[in-house]
Chain A
Amino acid sequence: MISLLYEILNTIRRNKMRTFLTGFAVAWGIFMLIVLLGSGNGLKNGFASNFGDRLMNVVQIWGGRTNIPYAGFQSGRRIALDEKDLQFTSAEFDKYVNLIAGNINFGTKTLSYGTEYLSSNLQGVSPNRIIIDGLKITQGNGRFINDLDIREKRKVIVISQRAKDILFNSETAIGKNVNFDGIIYTVVGVYYIEDRQDAVGSYIPLSTSQTIYNRGIKISNFAFTLNENIYDKATNDEFMNSYRKRIAQVHQVSPEDDNAIWYGNRFESYLQMANISKFINIAVWIIGIFTLLSGIVGVSNIMLITVRERTREFGIRKSIGASPFSILKLVIVESIFITTIFGYIGLVCGVGITEFASQFFEPSSAGRNSFNAFLNPTVDINVAVQATLLLIIAGTLAGFFPALKAVQIKTIEALNNK
């Protein structure tokens, strides 16, 4: 085997152009494939990142002002949501609705601790808000609002990591009292959001906020998650239609009035994104397969020519005692040797350039309104390795069949091949 490798290394060293051409076809094919798949992934990741960790199947409802006079009311009437909306939603639409959470927004006021302060938005929420908003609380950073807080109307608050850093610096925040617009709350948890490190909103129990701010059963907005019965555009549209009709009836507004009640349906945009992702995926794979094919054709061509060129050499080798198998082995091992080394080079270059490029597409930290068009344009290393293996196998087969043919040529004819 070592003897064979010496023989092959010698051949490669003396036939640099041929080796380079074969190797270049392989390396280039793999390189292009990885760059292409990486770009596709970058586009896809960019879209996906705009949704972050928030749940995809969330519907949000806000009260607005009527635009159309209806049922004896004039237009311009303010629609206020309240807990009855939560009740009818969970009772009548339980076939589609999973979690449901009311929410009161108190706007942005001053949150302070000692001499440190910042502006923070405050919301009264129910415990399942943590899921709907995709909040994370790590070990040692306390907890979110829980059912006991709601029942006992505790004056507790969950603040963001950024607010904690500003107010407490490196001290622990849990158990400390903070002041929000003149009212004292005890910090029970510090949350963060993966793609919005700068979030400063604070959360208190919904029941507490209703009592302190004297809101009765009124809420600013509410959100609910859809279950697996909503799975495509058709089921989503159908659900939204019947839900809009029902909530319009409850609040006595025209079903045609788009301004009376506002909806945000993330599932709709999620479906759009999923469609775009699917399209990018298909496009990338089609182009990728053709890139790989052209690489295979390139390698095959060179192998074919190489073997033809070497027919006489094979004849000479056979005349001095080379068995057909030994010549086949020579061609195959050389082909594997070249394609593996250059495939690896292409792989490293491709992965290198995608990793390099991904440095330039850091996730935007500008908050909710930022948009990432391109993010993390890298390739799953398994896909890259599989593609390289495929090309190595293709290159080997491409060398194998012409070599088999060349070996079967009678020695004397191979010798006379000019």
Chain B
Amino acid sequence: MPTIIKLENINKTYYNGSPLHVLKGIDLEIHEGEFVSIMGASGSGKSTLLNILGILDNYDTGEYYLNNVLIKNLSETRAAYFRNKLIGFVFQSFNLISFKNALENVALPLYYQKTGRKTRNKIALEYLDRLGLKEWAYHMPNELSGGQKQRVAIARALISKPQIILADEPTGALDSKTSVEVLDLLKKVNETGMTMIIVTHESGIANQTNKIIRLKDGIIESIDDNSEHNFSSFGFQNIK
């Protein structure tokens, strides 16, 4: 499988008051179609890493190749273009636009691809249908449950047919039952061949993924293969 993401010695420091060195030289390679989770305690830099991967934030030194394009010092316009074309986001707090209904929220990435209104609404309805939300298409976000909101957000992330999906604690605001549903959904999306990166601090979630990257204090502590899904919060269990 070809490499889709390649990080070389990424460093990031925040300058709010005293400098905070969040990422201290990250080297990482993710291949197309992988299902990866990034784990770590709060403050380990996992969200920062995801933001850099999503071109939502910039980094200080190092090199980040996305789809073999160097992502460094991009203009906002260029960054927006890449986000639109290559990346789909799923956020913990859903980040749906409150005054747009489900359909309009899902269709929005296509608006920025200059797709006509009728076409994009048709496509959006197809995606909502696929996620079992057809009846809810014209409901506003505040009329939807958490799981439904997250499914709308996933539909929105998928509609632009991105190369990778970045999910930041996608189940963080959901109950356990809904979490399972959402995670199953993400798994299914991954099975279609889409690269999926999930940031989480829940080992249960991480255990569903095929590769676990553990961050600690801004460096990668370990990268473990988890294709057997036998990871627990205490580390790998040795089932013999």
Contacts and interface: CB of A to CB of B under 8 A. Distances in A.
A313 B113 CA distance: 18
B80 A321 contact: yes
Most buried by A among B91, B104, B108, B160: B108
A324 interface: yes
B100 A320 contact: no
Given A3-B111, A14-B100, A320-B156, A415 B81 contact: no
Interface residues of B, number: 32
Contact of A14 (B54, B83, B99): B99
Contact of B113 (A14, A316, A321, A324): A321
A407 B75 CA distance: 12
A415 B56 contact: yes
A411 B58 CA distance: 10
Contacts of B54: 319
B95 A322 contact: no
A293 interface: no
B160 A321 contact: yes
A18 B126 CA distance: 33
Given A10-B104, A11-B99, A326-B112, A318 B76 contact: yes
Contacts of A312: 95
Given A10-B104, A14-B99, A319 B83 contact: yes
A6 interface: yes
B99 A321 contact: no
B117 A6 contact: yes
Given A10-B104, A313-B97, A415-B95, A323 B81 contact: yes
Interface string B74-91: 001101110111000101
B77 A321 contact: no
A143 interface: no
Interface in A314-338: 315-326
Contacts of A11: 99
B130 interface: no
A7 interface: yes
- A contact residues, range: 20 to 34
B217 to A, nearest CB: 21
Contacts of A324: 76-77, 80
Contacts of B116: 3
A323 B85 contact: no
A320 B56 contact: no
Contacts of B114: 3
A240 interface: no
Contacts of B203: none
Given A3-B116, A3-B117, A7-B111, A319 B56 contact: yes
A10 B112 contact: no
Nearest to B52: A412
Contact of A321 (B84, B95, B96, B117): B84
A15 interface: yes
A322 B112 contact: yes
B45 interface: no
Nearest to B99: A14
Contacts of A407: 76
A289 to B, nearest CB: 37
A236 B111 CA distance: 74
Contacts of B109: 320-321
B77 A323 contact: yes
A376 to B, nearest CB: 47
B53 to A, nearest CB: 12
Given A3-B114, A3-B117, A412-B57, A316 B95 contact: yes
B80 to A, nearest CB: 5
B56 A412 contact: yes
12 contacts: A6-B117, A14-B100, A313-B98, A317-B97, A317-B112, A320-B108, A320-B112, A321-B83, A321-B84, A323-B81, A324-B77, A407-B76
Can you list the 4 inter-chain pairs with the closest CB atoms, starting with the nearest? A321-B84, A14-B99, A321-B112, A412-B56
